[in-house]
């Protein structure tokens, strides 16, 4: 028994001489992150460096990672479906703007609360007689929605049963239908709708009701197959997500990236940059 005690004490002493071993073993030093390449002001492909993603989500994540002492690379991985596949497989560690999808819980750990919330608004033509204060007010009216929109599952179920929506390939087409009078309203994000209207020269022709019809979250989502996915990182990220709303950083990042994207539209890019397609 004395021998066992001496061996146990020796092992404890040996471990005590390795400061930070347990922390260092689990701490991630570099995260490779991807997301949507066509969703300004949240994320989009950098026209000056197409391998990189930029935007409000990127800026906020970089700030959070800096606070945690982690390096982050935000890389283009293709369209949304391709980006999701890269993260599912573990070839990339994280999505920066994942919608909460129950069927992905077996592949991804969602960090709560979300990094950002995307207010979806009801957009109409100026002079429209449409009256809106809640979703049921849209019943009986023809609306438009981009197929790339990512609403909450609860709202999607309601819309499928209760609303009449024409789905278009992208937001640009939906807003064009609105301007032509082919639909009475379009459901689009507050900032993506604003960016698209400005890019298309429609800003003075459209308006949005202030009351959001839906508020899907844009979550950080860690792959189950990422070597960085451990309790320390998930806990630290969740703590930072809780602190962000009161910090003032979110609104500043959104406004800064709206202006950044607008400025890019006024300059000839190195390769074509299209209007937002979410």
pLDDT tens string 235-261: 999 999 999 989 999 999 999 998 898
What pTM did the predictor assign?
0.82
Burial zone of 142 (CB within 10 Å; 0-12 exposed, 13-18 middle, 19+ buried): middle
Q: Would you state the structure tokens that stand for residue 247, as one six-digit string?
A: 């910090």
How large is the average pLDDT for residues 170-194? 95
pLDDT at 229 over 70: yes
pLDDT reported for residue 146: 95
- The residues, any chain, with a CB within 8 Å of residue 270's CB and separated by 6 or more, are 47, 48, 50
How large is the average pLDDT for residues 65-85? 96
pLDDT reported for residue 198: 85
pLDDT reported for residue 44: 95
pLDDT at 24 over 50: no
Burial zone of 268 (CB within 10 Å; 0-12 exposed, 13-18 middle, 19+ buried): exposed
High-pLDDT (> 70) share of the chain, %: 86
Q: Which CATH architecture has domain 30-116+217-266?
A: 3-Layer(aba) Sandwich (3.40)
Domain boundaries, the chain: 30-116+217-266, 119-214
Report the residue count for the chain.
278
How large is the average pLDDT for residues 134-163? 95
Q: What is the DSSP string of 90-147?
A: TSS-EEEEE---GGGTTTEEE-SS-SEE--EEEEEETT-----SSGGGGTTSEEEEET
pLDDT tens string 100-143: 998 999 999 999 999 999 999 999 999 999 999 999 999 999 99
Superfamily of 119-214 according to CATH: Periplasmic binding protein-like II (3.40.190.10)
Fold matches, 30-116+217-266 and 119-214: yes
How large is the average pLDDT for residues 197-215? 93
Mean confidence (pLDDT) of the chain: 88
pLDDT reported for residue 20: 38
Beta bridge mates, 34: 95
pLDDT at 186 over 70: yes
- The residues, any chain, with a CB within 8 Å of residue 4's CB and separated by 6 or more, are none
pLDDT reported for residue 199: 82
pLDDT band at 23 (very low <50, low <70, confident <90, very high): very low
pLDDT reported for residue 266: 77
């Amino acid at each position: 028994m004395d021998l066992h005690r001496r061996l146990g004490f020796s092992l404890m002493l040996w471990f005590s001489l390795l400061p930070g071993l347990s922390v260092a073993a689990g701490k991630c030093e570099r995260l490779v992150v991807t997301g949507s390449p066509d969703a300004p002001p949240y994320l989009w492909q950098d026209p000056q460096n197409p391998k990189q993603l930029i935007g409000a989500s990127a800026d906020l994540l970089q700030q959070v990672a800096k606070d945690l002492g982690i390096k982050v690379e935000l890389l283009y991985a293709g369209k949304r479906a391709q980006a999701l596949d890269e993260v599912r497989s573990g070839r990339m560690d994280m999505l920066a703007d994942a919608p909460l999808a129950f069927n992905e819980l077996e592949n991804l750990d969602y960090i709560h609360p979300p990094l950002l919330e995307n207010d979806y608004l009801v957009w109409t033509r100026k002079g429209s007689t449409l009256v809106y204060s809640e979703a049921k007010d849209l019943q009986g009216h023809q609306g438009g929605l981009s197929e790339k929109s990512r609403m909450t599952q609860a709202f999607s179920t309601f819309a499928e049963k209760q609303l009449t929506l024409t789905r278009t390939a992208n937001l640009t087409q939906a807003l064009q239908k609105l301007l032509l009078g082919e639909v009475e309203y379009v459901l689009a994000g507050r900032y993506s709708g604003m960016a698209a209207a400005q890019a298309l020269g429609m800003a003075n022709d459209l308006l949005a009701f202030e009351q959001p019809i839906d508020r899907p979250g844009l979550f950080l989502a860690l792959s189950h197959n990422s070597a960085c996915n451990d309790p320390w990182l998930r806990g630290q990220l969740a703590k930072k997500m809780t602190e962000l709303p009161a910090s003032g950083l979110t609104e500043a990042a959104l406004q800064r990236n709206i202006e950044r994207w607008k400025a890019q539209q006024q300059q000839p890019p190195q390769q074509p940059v299209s209007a937002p397609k979410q």
